[in-house]
A and B are shown apart, each in its own frame.
Chain A
Amino acid sequence: MRPIIIAEHLSKQYRIGAHAGQRGAVRYVTLRESLVEGVRASFRRWWGGERSVAETIWALRDVSFTVMPGEVTGIVGRNGSGKSTLLKILSRVTEPTSGRAELYGQVASLLDVGTGFHPDLTGRENIYLNGAILGMKQYEIERKFDEIVAFAEVERFLDTPVKYYSSGMYLRLAFAIGAHLSSAILIVDEILAVGDVNFQMKCLGKIDEVTHDGRTVVLVSHDLNLIAHLCHTALLLRDGHLQRVGPAREVVDDYRTVLSSGDGQEAAL
Chain B
Amino acid sequence: MALLEEIAETSGMPAYSLPEYPLVTICPSKKWVALNLRDLWAYREVLYFLIWRDIKVRYKQTLLGVAWAIIQPLFTMLVFWLFFGRLAGLPSDGIPYPLFAYAGLVPWTFVSNAVSSAGNSLIGNPSLITRVYFPRLIIPCAAVGAGLMDFAIILLFLLVPMATYGVAITWHLLLLPFLITLTTLLALGVGLWLAALNVQYRDIRYVLPFLIQLWMYSTPLIYPTSLVPAQWRWLFAFNPLAGLVEGYRAALFGRQWDWTALSISSSITVVLVVTAAYTFRRMEKTFADVV
Contact = CB atoms under 8 A, between A and B. Distances in A.
A133 B202 contact: no
Contact of B288 (A94, A116, A125, A137): A94
B25 interface: yes
A99 B26 CA distance: 8
Interface stretch (B14-22, B71-79, B243-251): B14-22
Interface stretch (B87-95, B122-130, B213-221, B253-261): B122-130
A118 B53 contact: yes
Contacts of A25: 289
A125 B48 CA distance: 13
Interface string B9-37: 00001101011001111111100000000
B57 A97 contact: no
Nearest to A94: B288
Contact of B57 (A29, A120, A213): A120
Contacts of B52: 129
B14 A93 contact: no
Contacts of A27: 290
Contacts of B45: 132, 137-138
Contacts of A93: 129-133, 288
B26 A29 contact: no
Contact of A120 (B18, B22, B60): B60
A103 interface: yes
B26 A100 contact: yes
A132 B49 CA distance: 7
B53 A121 contact: yes
B285 interface: yes
Indicate the size class of the contact surface on chain B. Answer: 35 or more
A112 B131 contact: yes
A14 interface: yes
Given A111-B132, A115-B132, A214-B16, A28 B291 contact: yes
A30 B28 contact: no
A132 B46 contact: yes
Contacts, number: 140
Contact of A69 (B18, B129, B134, B288): B18
A101 B25 contact: yes
Nearest to A96: B28
B4 interface: yes
Contacts of B43: 135
A133 B132 contact: yes
Nearest to A100: B27
Contacts of B57: 118, 120-121
Contacts of A116: 50, 53, 125, 127-128, 132
Contacts of B233: none
Interface of A: 1-2, 4, 6, 14, 25-32, 34, 69-70, 88-107, 109, 111-112, 115-116, 118, 120-121, 125, 128-129, 132-135, 137-138, 213-214
3 closest A-B pairs by CB: A214-B14, A102-B22, A100-B27
Given A2-B1, A109-B133, A120-B57, 5 more contacts: A103-B23, A107-B24, A120-B61, A121-B60, A132-B45
